[in-house]
Amino acid sequence: MLIRVNLNGELREADVWPGASLLFALREDFGVRGSKNACEQGECGSCSVWLDGDLVCACLVLAAQAHEREVRTVESLSGTGEEGLHPVQEAFLEAGAVQCGFCTPGLVVAVADLLDHDPSPSEAAVREALSGNLCRCTGYQKIMDAVSLAAERKRESDW
Amino acid sequence: MEVLIPRGLEEALEWKADHPEAVPIAGGTDLMVDLNFDRSRPEVMIDVSRLSELNTWRREDGNLFLGAGLTYTRALHELPEMRALAQASRSVGSPQIRNRGTIGGNLGTASPAGDAVPVLDAHDGEVVLGAAGDRTRSVSWNEFFLGPKRNAMAPDELILGAQWRDARGPQSFSKVGTRNAMVIAVANLCLVMDEDSRTVRVALGSVGPTVLRSQEAEAFAAEALSRAGAWDDPSAPLPPSDLEGFAERVSGAATPIDDVRGTAGYRRHACRVLAGRALSWALAERVAEAQLA
């Protein structure tokens, strides 16, 4: 079936299998591969995107449900900071919050979403906000450090 | 396979009448997992996630109506005064899941572990169903849930929402799982104390084929409060043996099984602990409120 999606600010069309997830459509039909496919059951958060501004797991959205809606992926975050990186991405690099990198796109999206809603989150709020994103490498502490750094920068400059 | 995308509720109900086999999909947090793993492949699906008529809640004469499309995130933020509902909503999944998962999805899936269900049941709530031609009917919680993942919907119906009467008094939702997020309950419990009818209602999830109420424990608690004079005087303490008697009876109502999430024995124990805590919190809250007043 034909779906039309406002994808990262651009109107795009794709012919998708009606049972396909938004994640599958993004990666295979639209060729936008920043959102990662790991668990396909909403457990890991690696496919976190915004659907009409809400943080969701793209694997749990039927592609058809995104028809005539706005989808923003991790790709929408690039290009606003130095070297084309978003401040959250820069904070992840500086804090060493990236190891294998597979969870990183989902975490970056989830952190950007958190800081949009709450620029000064408590540690408990950060842990709750990131409870739907799994990382099997870092042990999370450096991710926590990256969030603190990103929050600090956001308060200073309001990117 | 085909996905129907109705523009409004009326159209959705008409299409459901034309395609009674169509599987409604709202937040997709259960259904998409089955689709992704090819465990089910419905011939027709109907997207109810964009029906604005269902993405709503309202209060009418002391009744609360929760539209089927209300997400847990919205329930949590927009209805904090419905404490048990807010606590249950917060315990669901993760932010990503709460942004998509809906009250109606919990009712349609009819899992005995659904976190909104004990809240509905402990409020003596009803599920509101709609069909084409302006036909609606309300089904009480104990007639709606028929068994694990089975409910009383007719093939031409869609879930419009849930409704119950606000109860004046303490209430809580609690849940046992292996972490604070992303868990399906090993056991969950909702306790509602209704000061006006002088009743205590308690519903248990994930410990039977459907969410259960323990009428014996409820009657025992109401009588214990009467004996202690606590309905009139919140500071009148209940003897510890009454708290234990309540917890024991709640646990006795559970009919759990061993499964991947826990053993039957552990679940009975969890019910006892959750019930004792929930009643203690309710009593403590009444004392604190009386002191403030």
What domain count does chain B have?
Answer: 2
Claim to verify: residue B189 and residue B139 sit in the same structural domain:
no
pLDDT score at B15:
98
What average pLDDT does this structure show over B235-261?
96
Residue B180 to residue A19, Cβ atoms within 8 A: no
Ordered mean pLDDT values, 10 residues apiece, chain A (159 residues): 97 98 98 97 98 98 98 87 84 96 98 96 97 96 97 85
Claim to verify: residue B262 and residue B220 sit in the same structural domain:
yes
* Structure ipTM: 0.96
Tell me how many degrees the CA angle A129-A131-A132 measures, rounded to the nearest 5: 100
Contacts with B, A 68-107, CB within 8 Å: none
Claim to verify: residue B35 and residue B123 sit in the same structural domain:
yes
Claim to verify: residue B18 and residue B161 sit in the same structural domain:
yes
User: The domain that contains B241 carries what CATH number?
Assistant: 3.30.390.50
Claim to verify: residue B181 and residue B40 sit in the same structural domain:
no
* Cα A85 to Cα A31, A89, A111, distances in angstroms: 20, 6, 14
**Distance of alpha carbon A135 from alpha carbon B256, whole angstroms:** 33
pLDDT score at A82:
61
Claim to verify: residue B68 and residue B212 sit in the same structural domain:
no
Query: Which of B28, B95, B182 is the closest to A61 by Cβ?
Result: B28
Claim to verify: residue B280 and residue B238 sit in the same structural domain:
yes
CA-based torsion, B262, B268, B271, B276: positive or negative: negative
Domain of B208 in residue numbering reads as 171-292
Query: Which of B1, B50, B95 is the closest to A129 by Cβ?
Result: B95
Q: Whole-prediction pTM value? A: 0.96
**What long-range pairs does A68-72 form, CB within 8 A, spacing at least 24?**
A68/A4, A68/A5, A69/A5, A69/A6, A70/A5, A70/A6, A71/A5, A71/A6, A71/A7, A71/A8, A71/A22, A71/A26, A72/A7, A72/A8, A72/A9
Residues of B in contact with A57 (CB under 8 A): 96-97, 100
Claim to verify: residue B12 and residue B139 sit in the same structural domain:
yes
Mean pLDDT estimate for chain B: 97
Claim to verify: residue B141 and residue B208 sit in the same structural domain:
no
B77-113 per-position pLDDT tens digit: 999 999 999 999 999 999 999 999 999 999 999 999 9
Residues of B in contact with A17 (CB under 8 A): 1
Query: Which of A45, A60, A131 is the closest to B32 by Cβ?
Result: A60
What average pLDDT does this structure show over B11-32?
98
User: The domain that contains B45 carries what CATH number?
Assistant: 3.30.465.10
Is the CB of residue A48 less than 8 Å away from at least one CB of chain B?
yes
B179-196 per-position pLDDT tens digit: 989 999 999 999 999 999
Claim to verify: residue B99 and residue B189 sit in the same structural domain:
no
Claim to verify: residue B178 and residue B132 sit in the same structural domain:
no
Phi, psi of A55 (to 5 degrees): -70, 125
What average pLDDT does this structure show over B267-276?
98
Which chain B residue is nearest to residue A57, measuring alpha carbons?
A: B96
Which of B23, B29, B35, B36 should be substituted to probe chain A, the one whose Cβ sees the most A Cβ atoms within 10 Å? B36
Claim to verify: residue B110 and residue B193 sit in the same structural domain:
no
Residue A40 to residue B49, Cβ atoms within 8 A: no
